[in-house]
């Protein structure tokens, strides 16, 4: 088993790559689908949409699955059930996010058809929305479990874990509000996002101090 320090630094790198791959991917896809004339807009922005989906469905998935895989050997001594629950939730959430991204790819063949498919295209877009919100709600739950394990491990300052639990709870609340039609998810994602960036930088610089 590689050292906790090395695993911690790799985790920090992958955490940043996870954040960037989905952030850049979602920005590209939003450029391709953020027009009232949805299918016509998609037809002229196929490249952006395809690259965005690749970043969200392939790159993000690989980086995301790497996260619990790196930390599972280190953190399982502090709560085996919690670690495996975290792993399962991350895999489930990541799968939902990947499925939601693939939904957006369906817009490309739809944009090439002659039949009026705008209503169906909106349904596909909603499929992505719901998959994203549910996937992120699960990610918030998994994040709280992960932060609780960090607190118990003492591998990083406890304050990080406490802030992470609060940030992920706020983030999860925002995703649930989105499902009920209250568009405040982006605002409530800020504390969790800042925590993820801060934790990544800490781990890259300091590593994870738990002894093997």
Output the furthest CA–CA distance in the chain (Å, rounded): 63
The sign of the CA dihedral 29, 201, 65, 149 is negative
pLDDT value, residue 210: 67
**Domain chopping of the chain, boundaries:** 4-206
Predicted confidence (pLDDT) per residue in 52-103, tens digit = 999 999 999 999 999 999 888 888 888 889 999 999 999 999 999 999 999 9
**Residue 212 CB-density burial (10 A; 0-12 exposed, 13-18 middle, 19+ buried):** exposed
Predicted confidence (pLDDT) per residue in 93-137, tens digit = 999 999 999 999 989 988 887 567 788 888 888 999 999 999 999
Q: In terms of Cα–Cα distance, which of 71, 64, 72 is closest to 18? A: 64
Place of tokens 């369906």: 106
pLDDT value, residue 148: 94
Q: In terms of Cα–Cα distance, which of 83, 91, 68 is closest to 11? A: 68
* Tokens, residue 69: 């895989």
Mean pLDDT of the chain: 90
pTM: 0.88
Is the model's pLDDT at 33 over the cut of 60? yes
Is the model's pLDDT at 165 over the cut of 60? yes
Average pLDDT of span 143-160: 90
Lowest-confidence region among 1-10, 15-24, 36-45, 90-99: 1-10
Q: In terms of Cα–Cα distance, which of 2, 76, 12 is closest to 207? A: 12
Distance CA 180, CA 129 (A): 12
Q: Do 131 and 99 meet the contact criterion of CB atoms below 8 Å apart? A: yes
User: What is the share, in percent, of the chain residues with pLDDT greater than 90?
Assistant: 68
Q: Do 93 and 138 meet the contact criterion of CB atoms below 8 Å apart? A: yes
pLDDT value, residue 135: 96
pLDDT value, residue 184: 93
Is the model's pLDDT at 179 over the cut of 80? yes
* Tokens, residue 36: 């009232």
Is the model's pLDDT at 155 over the cut of 90? no
pLDDT value, residue 116: 72
């Amino acid at each position: 088993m590689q050292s906790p320090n090395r695993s911690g630094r790799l985790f920090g790198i992958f955490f940043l790559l996870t954040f960037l791959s989905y952030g850049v991917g979602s920005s590209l896809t939003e450029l391709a689908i953020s027009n009232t004339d949805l299918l016509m807009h998609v037809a002229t922005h196929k490249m952006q949409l395809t690259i965005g989906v690749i970043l969200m469905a392939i790159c993000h998935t690989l980086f995301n699955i790497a996260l619990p895989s790196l930390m599972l050997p280190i953190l399982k001594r502090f709560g085996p059930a919690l670690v495996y629950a975290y792993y399962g939730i991350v895999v489930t959430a990541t799968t939902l996010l990947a499925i939601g991204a693939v939904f957006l790819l369906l817009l490309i063949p739809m944009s090439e058809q002659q039949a009026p498919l705008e209503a169906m295209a909106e349904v596909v877009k909603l499929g992505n929305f719901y998959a994203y919100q549910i996937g992120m709600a699960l990610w918030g739950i998994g994040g709280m479990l992960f932060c609780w394990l960090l607190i118990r491990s003492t591998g990083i300052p406890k304050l990080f874990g406490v802030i992470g639990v609060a940030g992920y709870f706020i983030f999860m609340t925002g995703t649930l509000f989105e499902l009920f039609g209250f568009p405040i998810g982006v605002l409530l994602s800020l504390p969790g996002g800042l925590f993820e960036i801060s934790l990544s930088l800490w781990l890259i610089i300091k590593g994870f101090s738990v002894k093997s």
